Structure 1
Amino acid sequence: MTKTIIATDAAPKAIGPYSQAVRGGDFLFLSGQIAINPATGELVSESFAAQVRQIFKNIEAVLKAAGSNFSQVVKATVFLKDMGQFAEMNGIYAEYFPNDPPARSAVQVAKLPKDVDIEIEMIAFLG
């Protein structure tokens, strides 16, 4: 099995020693995305909903760079600073997975990079 690094300028650059995504065989492993606007490099902070929507834009850009899309996502992990925001996140999340949603975990964590409220990572099948 070969490993291919996926990178795109349409999503935020990695802020550490990791890749935006890695293709391994027929699977694409996306690193966690936070609400950074790739055009400005700044965090989106006007609302929690705006953060979630920016994360999905970032994920969509990485999926597209790998020749994939949301219909091929098989697993998502959502990290929330406050589980009280789960319902709001879930409503937006459902917009991206209206049919046959992937498996998902959602956990509350004490702290996230850049002190954001949410981070989402995904795995997609490319076969």
Structure 2
Amino acid sequence: MPKRYIVEVEGVPPSPSPISNAVVVGNMCWISGQLSVGPDGAFVAGTAREEAERAFAHVFRIAEAAGFSRGDIVYVDLAFLDLADLKEVNGLYAEMFPEGRRPARTVYQAARLPFDGKIKVQAVAAR
């Protein structure tokens, strides 16, 4: 059985929920859902793009702390409060993941997100 370990990252605000920032098993890293949260752990509201930028910054910081790079991300799950925000976030997504290196992705609208956020981002990385 591959080695399994929990990744907790300094500089990523702790979740109010009982979760780990990420779990690594073998060559795979599962990164928990991230929201637009500031350094103090408080939710930071903004446009969908602004919230996505903060959430992705946490995802990338967690991946790096686990020994993975942005280029190792193979799957992204985006939960939106309103799918009308998808177009705005797609522009950011295209900037962060260049053509030929874009992860597989799931996008859906949720009835509600924690803190009434506009977006939640989770990811899987593989080496």
Smaller-chain TM-score bracket: over 0.9
1:34-71 per-position Cα deviation (integer Å, ceiling 9, x unaligned): 0001x222222132221111011111110111111110
Q: Provide the rounded CA distance (Å) in 1 between the counterparts of 2:46 and 2:84.
A: 18
Give 2:83's aligned residue: 83
Give 2:42's aligned residue: 42
Q: Provide the rounded CA distance (Å) in 2 between the counterparts of 1:10 and 1:104.
A: 26
Q: Provide the rounded CA distance (Å) in 2 between the counterparts of 1:110 and 1:46.
A: 19
AA at the equivalent of 1:24: V
Q: Which runs of 4+ in 1 moved over 4 A?
A: none
Q: Provide the rounded CA distance (Å) in 2 between the counterparts of 1:42 and 1:95.
A: 27
Report the TM-score, using the length of structure 2 for normalisation. 0.93
CA contact (8 A) 1:10 1:62 kept: no
State how many pairs are aligned.
125
**1:114 offset after TM fit, Å?**
1.6
- Secondary structure of 1:17's counterpart equals coil
Q: Provide the rounded CA distance (Å) in 2 between the counterparts of 1:8 and 1:43.
A: 18
Q: Provide the rounded CA distance (Å) in 2 between the counterparts of 1:46 and 1:85.
A: 12
Q: Provide the rounded CA distance (Å) in 1 between the counterparts of 2:122 and 2:48.
A: 17
AA at the equivalent of 2:102: P
Q: Provide the rounded CA distance (Å) in 2 between the counterparts of 1:108 and 1:49.
A: 16
CA contact (8 A) 1:76 1:121 kept: yes
Question: Percent identical across equivalent pairs?
Answer: 29
Q: Which runs of 5+ in 2 are unaligned?
A: none
Give 1:119's aligned residue: 120
Report the TM-score, using the length of structure 1 for normalisation. 0.93
**1:14 offset after TM fit, Å?**
2.3
CA contact (8 A) 2:23 2:29 kept: yes
Give 1:60's aligned residue: 60
Q: Provide the rounded CA distance (Å) in 2 between the counterparts of 1:46 and 1:86.
A: 15
Q: Which runs of 5+ in 1 are unaligned?
A: none
**1:27 offset after TM fit, Å?**
0.1
